[in-house]
């Protein structure tokens, strides 16, 4: 029997405190032994967004117990894990400090190696845990802090093909919801309202559509929504529903164009990929059924598999951090030194140029 490597993962980069124990053998078989997540949603909702100081304090208060709970549910003690993996960026610096320092302390006390994991790498590699994907594949990360199309070539080998030049997609949903008087987080509220709306009532802009570059832009869309809402104020429920439906339609069209070009580029760069190539989606916006439908149809049309891991592994969690650590161990990567520092900004692709406005809202993922 091939021995399993077992790792404790810790995630604190934004507003979820999470710990998990995961194991993997040399052939890539895995077991998720525990997966504990504590969302801070209630603490932040009154402010309409994540408040960094509140987040950091909440991580401090919850993390120790959460780690104990993860070990207990996995039925292991610290002595039974081979390594510790903690998110060390990108994200809100206070939260990163809490998680990484805790990881270091445990690693030191238990005499285990530490892997300081890039949160985005966790998102990027999750589909190998859930679906056993082989490299290369494309990953679309759409969350409150990021909108990126990434080529995943291998462990530690990432190329950013596109990113937002202003707002992240989840941020566009949240801001739109706020200006329409809907609740936070805005994505689910906008999606709910859109169901009863007329998507053709407003013709919202689709920035960058038709351009060869694979970047995204959503701030113009948000401005157009504000303008439309002001023009017809006061808004009836039907007006709000129509705006939401038209907003989602504009986003669907935008994604279709941008990602469609990405799929074509992938086919050009990897013509010999024997298997059906894959597009993976991750991040909270991946919960949106209309956008999922758009991506699924686009993949079907282009001969791609559309992979959407279960939602709790698409949004922030510690399983993906543990898994990224395991993948690095399996690839023979050396652990990090215990003086490794958290990095609020940490692009996966260090060669990618920084675009104007990219990485706002604390560059959370």
- Of 202 and 323, which has the nearer Cβ to Zn ion? 323
- Residue of 229, 307, 322, 365 that binds ligand KG4 (CB under 6 A): 365
Piece in contact with ligand KG4 (CB under 6 A), picked from 69-77, 170-178, 269-277, 300-308: 170-178
- Residue of 28, 49, 113, 188 that binds ligand KG4 (CB under 6 A): 188
Site for ligand KG4 in 226-285 (CB under 6 A): 283-285
Question: Could you give the angle at which helices 169-179 and 219-231 cross, rounded to 10 degrees?
Answer: 10
Residue 39 annotated as lining a ligand binding site: no
* In the complex, least distance from residue 282 CB atom to ligand KG4, rounded to whole angstroms: 8
Alpha-carbon distance 309 to 126, whole Å?
A: 8
Binding to Zn ion by CB under 5 A, coded x per residue (else -) over 313-352, reads ---x------------------------------------
Residue 68 annotated as lining a ligand binding site: no
From the number of C-beta atoms within 10 Å of its C-beta (0-12, 13-18, 19+), residue 5 rates as middle
Piece in contact with ligand KG4 (CB under 6 A), picked from 27-35, 97-105, 128-136, 140-148: 140-148
Name residue, tokens 């609020």: 344
Alpha-carbon distance 43 to 319, whole Å?
A: 23
**Is residue 14 involved in binding ligand KG4 (CB under 6 A)?**
yes
- Of 13 and 246, which has the nearer Cβ to Zn ion? 13
**Is residue 190 involved in binding Zn ion (CB under 5 A)?**
no
- Of 98 and 244, which has the nearer Cβ to Zn ion? 98
**Is residue 58 involved in binding ligand KG4 (CB under 6 A)?**
no
- Of 102 and 317, which has the nearer Cβ to ligand KG4? 317
**Interacting residues of 334 by C-beta distance below 8 A, sequence separation 6+:** none
Total residues in contact with ligand KG4, by rule CB under 6 A: 21
Alpha-carbon distance 359 to 248, whole Å?
A: 23
User: Strand 30-39 vs strand 16-25: parallel, antiparallel, or unpaired?
Assistant: antiparallel
Alpha-carbon distance 308 to 253, whole Å?
A: 19
CB 168 within 8 A of CB 147: yes
**Is residue 35 involved in binding ligand KG4 (CB under 6 A)?**
no
C-alpha separations of 181 from 105, 175, 248 in Å: 44, 10, 17
CB 365 within 8 A of CB 314: no
Q: What are residue 33's phi and psi, to 5 degrees?
A: -85, -30
Piece in contact with ligand KG4 (CB under 6 A), picked from 142-150, 200-208, 223-231, 233-241: 142-150
**Is residue 40 involved in binding ligand KG4 (CB under 6 A)?**
no
- Residue of 74, 250, 319, 365 that binds Zn ion (CB under 5 A): 365
- Residue of 191, 242, 327, 336 that binds ligand KG4 (CB under 6 A): 191
**Is residue 59 involved in binding ligand KG4 (CB under 6 A)?**
no
User: Strand 83-89 vs strand 30-39: parallel, antiparallel, or unpaired?
Assistant: unpaired
C-alpha separations of 4 from 27, 135, 215, 224 in Å: 10, 22, 40, 53
For residue 198 the two structure tokens come to 């007329």
Where is the binding site for Fe cation, in residues?
Answer: 119, 123, 316
Footprint of ligand KG4 (CB under 6 A)? 14, 143-145, 170, 173-174, 185-188, 191, 283-285, 287-288, 315-316, 364-365
């Amino acid at each position: 029997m091939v021995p399993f490597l077992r790792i404790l993962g810790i995630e604190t980069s934004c507003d979820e405190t999470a710990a998990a124990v995961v194991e993997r053998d040399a052939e890539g078989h895995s077991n998720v032994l525990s997966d504990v997540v504590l969302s801070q949603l209630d603490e932040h909702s009154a402010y309409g967004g994540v408040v960094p100081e509140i987040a950091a304090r909440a991580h401090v208060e919850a993390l120790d117990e959460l780690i104990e709970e993860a070990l207990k549910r996995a039925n292991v003690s610290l002595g039974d894990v081979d390594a510790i993996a903690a998110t060390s960026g990108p994200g809100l610096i206070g939260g990163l400090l809490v998680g990484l320092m805790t990881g270091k302390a445990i690693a030191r006390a238990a005499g285990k190696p530490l892997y300081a994991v890039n949160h985005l790498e966790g998102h990027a590699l999750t589909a190998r845990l859930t679906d056993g994907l082989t490299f290369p594949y494309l990953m679309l990360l759409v969350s409150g802090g990021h909108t990126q199309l990434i080529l995943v070539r291998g462990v530690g080998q990432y190329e950013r093909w596109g990113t937002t030049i202003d707002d992240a997609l989840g941020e566009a949903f949240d801001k739109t919801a706020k200006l329409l008087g809907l609740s936070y987080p805005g994505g689910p509220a906008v999606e709910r309202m859109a169901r009863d709306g007329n998507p053709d009532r407003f013709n919202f802009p689709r920035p960058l559509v038709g351009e060869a570059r694979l970047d995204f832009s959503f701030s113009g869309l948000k401005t157009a929504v504000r303008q439309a809402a002001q023009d017809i104020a006061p808004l009836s429920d039907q007006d709000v529903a129509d705006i939401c439906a038209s907003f989602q339609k504009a986003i669907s069209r935008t994604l279709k164009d941008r990602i469609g070009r990405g799929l074509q580029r992938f086919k050009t760069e990897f013509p010999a990929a024997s298997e059906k190539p894959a597009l993976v989606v991750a991040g909270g916006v991946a919960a949106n059924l209309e956008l999922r439908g758009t991506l699924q149809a686009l993949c079907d049309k282009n001969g791609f598999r559309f992979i959407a891991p279960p939602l709790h592994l698409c949004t922030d969690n510690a399983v993906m951090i543990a898994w990224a650590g395991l993948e690095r161990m399996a690839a023979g990567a050396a652990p990090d030194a215990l003086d490794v520092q958290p990095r609020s900004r940490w692009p996966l692709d260090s060669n990618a140029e920084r675009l104007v406005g990219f990485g706002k809202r604390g560059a959370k993922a």
